[in-house]
Amino acid sequence: MDILISDVILPATVDLDYGSFKDKDELFRHMVSLLYKAGKIDSEAKFLEALYEREALGSTYMGNGIAIPHGKSDAVISSGIAFCRCTEGGLYESANESGIVKLVFMFAVPAETGDGSYLKLLSTLARLLMHESFIESLYEAKDYTDVVEAIKAAEAELGK
């Protein structure tokens, strides 16, 4: 059975009022701390290292104010996604791309996870983010429930 985005995003890993960030490192550290506090990772430092290793391979900036940083690491206890909505946003530089980012999904994936399911999850999110109505629902969300309902509705739409 495929893992759904709505299955691995938790209330503790959603921050809808982050404000702005001075650089990508500040944003990463904040989001990694959400994953750590939610029990998804057992080492913030090791997972940060995995994120930066992945960043060295290519851009995680998606354009349209969106970024999807991700990493596979043995610091990850179980797959998790942190979501951060920044009211002001900040400059997100990744590989040779950059832009102001306000919506960030961070994937934490256990090292032993096969690339197939990991890439399918990333691909699914990228497809969801191609729909303006989904992006609007993320901006309008008032709480975790709104975020998850928007994700579930968009996943169901993709599944048709």
Residue ranges of domains in the chain:
8-159
User: What is the model's pTM?
Assistant: 0.94
d(Cα 102, Cα 100) in Å, to the nearest integer? 7
Q: Would you state the pLDDT for residue 118?
A: 76
Q: Would you state the pLDDT for residue 114?
A: 75
Residues with a known catalytic role: 70
Residue 141: pLDDT band with limits 50, 70, 90: very high
Residue 160: pLDDT band with limits 50, 70, 90: low
Question: Checking phi first, is residue 96 left (phi over 0); if not, alpha (psi -120 to 50) or beta?
Answer: alpha
Q: Which residues contact 104 (CB under 8 A, 6 or more apart)?
A: 27, 31, 66, 67, 68, 69, 82, 83, 84, 85, 86, 92
Q: What is the pLDDT of residues 55-111, one digit of tens each?
A: 999 999 999 999 999 999 999 999 999 999 999 999 999 988 999 999 999 999 999
Integer CA distances (angstroms), 114 to 72, 99, 117, in order: 10, 31, 6
Domain 8-159: which topology? Answer: Mannitol-specific EII; Chain A (3.40.930)
